[in-house]
Amino acid sequence: MTRSSSLSELGRATNCSDEHDSSCNVSSSNRSLRLAENAKRKSEAEAPFLVAFKYFSQVKAGTPVNGNDELLGHLDRVERMALAQGLPPDAVSIMLEFAMSLRCRSSISSRVLRFLIPASVVPQEAVVRGFSWLCTQKMPQSMQILFLRWVLTMFDMIDCKDNLRAIYGFIFSFVIDESLCPFICHLLYLLTIKGHVKPFRVRKLLDIQGRMGKQPYLMQLLALYKVFCPEMVTLTMPSRMRAGFKNHSTTWKAALAALKRRNAGKEAPSMELTLGVRKSNSRKRKFHHLEVPALTPAMESSGPNARRGVCLQQLSSFNELLDNLNSIELPAQMGSLLSSALALHYLDCVQDESAFLRLNFWLGHALHEEFLFGPADGSPENMAEASHFLSMLVSTQHFLQEGFSSTEGFLFKFLQVWDGFLHRPQILELLSDIPLVPSSYIKDALFEPLMQLYFTSSVFFKCSVIECLTSMLRKWLTWHSICAQEEGLDISLNNRSNMSLSLSGFLDSVLKLVQFVGRLTSAGLQLERGHTLLLHHALGFYETVSDMFLKYSLPLFVMLPPGVFYPALLATDPVSVDRLGYIMFRYRQNLTSAKEEQKKQKELSIHINRSVYQEFNSYLVAMVAHLWNSRSFSLRSGIQVSEALLERTKVGDHSNCFDLIHHPAFLNYAIDFHQQCWPERADIDLNSIKAGKYWEWYVEFLFTQGFAGLRDFIKVNINPTVTRHSDGRPSSGQPLSQPSQPSQPTAEASSTALS
């Protein structure tokens, strides 16, 4: 009985298994049919796009557009696909070739370029073929510009740039077109490597700059060339350059951003379970992510009780700003003002204290959080973003012609931890914008940290520091000159600062700054062995110092230190000697004017220390003794060297080795003058230039070489009233401009000292 029941159960199980197999076969066949139907439906849905791409790859030139429903239908399908999900690489190649070949009207080609949005990458060969179509004469310029804008926008999506760099010379040839030049310079800036920098390209860019002026895009490309090959680009680049390449492709970028958001939304959320607390992806502020917010209104102006104000983002011109100046509402985030020129115009015109307070709060928070309290992250993206933000801040302060108080507080803290390399151009530019610092505070806040960096850095950093302090001094003096004309005593560079100094306090701060730079330049020239570049920056600073009374109405006179004067006097380049002559000329003009002003005024409001006159006269006698009277290393020359040491130099006549003829800076000019006067002589006797009329002819010859500073110094400070002929007989002198005057004057009659 048990066995029969088991057999019956086995039979029933076998029957059930047969039925189950048959049902499984039926379900699997049904699923296969469904998959086949889905694949067929998908292929039928994709078929129109394939047909469209095939049509555009085979369309003939001159195909009519009006009434061509097939062309317009395929165009609509491709456009919907491009804007919805982007085009694959092969489709990008086909559509770009169709657009650039102008097989239909240029309006159709422009439409294609405007919706040509890639889904992943752009094939490099398609872009190269696009450039080949620029050679044709039939392409309108608007189409060429549109293509270049598209390439610049999609540049990061191009799969490879090797072939584009291979046709660098071909792309460079379009730089002569004024309309294409901004876009070509931008593209060349992205493609340039060191091997592309050639002398003929530098000359071509300089020729275009001479014709078009210093355009920002040309300056940016030349600056990049100078980075790769500084010896080829002799043009001096400004320390601050505004953005050279504009963003003209917001439509394409908006389409790419929308496509990216749609693709991100399709990703299924993760269902993975994690132990512990799940970290939030959002946080209050991302460190090292300085992004200026967009202009957005503080509140929505909708409803019957809404305020009748005008938002800044609604304005598009300066005239509209003036018409609505009294009804403008500030944005929700004050940091957005930095990215709008109209907003900065409003900030400058209205002088709203609350607006400046809000902006200073936002700016101070951002600077402290990102640069002082943020984690150290030296990735290229974050470095570039921070550099861009600081450059924008520099441009804003230059636009407003004053520094923010939050920037000043940040800089004084940042200098304590700065290494001298991080964002050096922007930091030094911001330093030059700080307002006047009281003399009791300037040493600890500014001088000490700068001095530590100065003496431990390269000569180029030293030059940057001197240039920064020169700019700072000029801004202080300029603001003082404006206050002096308005008869005001508020010497603060920032009219929203709580600091207000008297004239004596201002003089004290400027004196401390000039003395500090004097110590830096003297020690720096010793450390760098009289480096020419550092010497020129030092002389540039003292060109400003020498003219403080006449140019800036500041009754302060500080002579340049011996550590700067004598290296400039004995320099091997004539430019340094010429600039020194100009500085001494301006010192004399300022001291003479101040002395005359003292005589006119009953009250002694201008006091000049007698040591200033003594120091000026000693420098004057030293310059005349070396350059004019051939009495180098004499008792009155300011440089005393023992006879034993002079004999070791094996120089025959060391007394005249630094006059205008034998000076290393002017030796080439003396030889050239000698060859012009005595072309038949085989040997060169430079002492013959001192005889008779040749001396004055030689001096006039130097004046014609562009040494204006030396000319002013000689004509004002040297009074040749006692001269002598070549045979030694005394003779009465005439004005220096007369070429008939005999040889050089004696030492006692050569200089006119101040007393």
Low-confidence residues of the chain: pLDDT under 70 = 1-49, 137, 237-244, 247-250, 264-291, 294-309, 332, 351-354, 373-379, 483-502, 602-605, 634-638, 640-642, 649-654, 719-755
Residue where one domain finishes, among candidates 535, 553, 574: 535
Residue where one domain finishes, among candidates 493, 514, 535: 535
**Which pLDDT does position 461 carry in this prediction?**
92
Whether 95 maps to a domain, the answer reads yes
Whether 200 maps to a domain, the answer reads yes
**DSSP readout, 525-546?**
HHHTTS-HHHHHHHHHHHHHHT
**Which pLDDT does position 273 carry in this prediction?**
31
Amino acid making up residue 462: K
**Which pLDDT does position 354 carry in this prediction?**
67
If we measure between CA atoms, which residue out of 455, 582, 469, 458 comes closest to residue 239? 469
Whether 340 maps to a domain, the answer reads no
Residue where one domain finishes, among candidates 535, 550, 571: 535
pTM above 0.75, yes or no: no
If we measure between CA atoms, which residue out of 377, 371, 509 comes closest to residue 435? 509
What torsion do the CA atoms of 589, 592, 598, 600 make, to the nearest 10 degrees? -90
Whether 69 maps to a domain, the answer reads yes
**Which pLDDT does position 349 carry in this prediction?**
80
pLDDT (tens digit, 9 = 90+) per residue, 531-571? Answer: 999 999 999 999 999 999 999 888 889 999 999 999 999 89
If we measure between CA atoms, which residue out of 638, 628, 546, 555 comes closest to residue 583? 546
Whether 454 maps to a domain, the answer reads yes
Number of C-beta neighbours around residue 72 at 10 A:
13
Whether 471 maps to a domain, the answer reads yes
pLDDT (tens digit, 9 = 90+) per residue, 71-114? Answer: 888 888 888 888 888 888 898 888 888 888 887 777 888 888 88
For the chain, percent helix, then strand, then coil, each to nearest 5? 60, 5, 35
**Which pLDDT does position 568 carry in this prediction?**
93
Sign of CA dihedral 464, 469, 472, 477: negative
If we measure between CA atoms, which residue out of 706, 712, 713, 681 comes closest to residue 694? 681
Number of C-beta neighbours around residue 156 at 10 A:
9
Burial (Cβ within 10 Å: 0-12, 13-18, ≥19) of residue 717: buried
Q: What angle do CA 180, 183, 186 make, to 5 degrees?
A: 145
Q: Which residue has the tokens 């593209």?
A: 187
If we measure between CA atoms, which residue out of 750, 716, 753 comes closest to residue 733? 750
Q: Which residue has the tokens 């489709």?
A: 91
Total domains present in the chain: 2
DSSP, res 559: P
Rg (CA), the chain: 38
Whether 371 maps to a domain, the answer reads no
Amino acid making up residue 622: A
What are the beta bridge partners of residue 722? 732
If we measure between CA atoms, which residue out of 344, 351, 451 comes closest to residue 393? 344
Whether 727 maps to a domain, the answer reads no
154: containing domain: 51-228
DSSP, res 310: E
Give first-to-last CA distance, the chain, whole Å: 146
CA gap 491, 166 in Å, rounded: 58
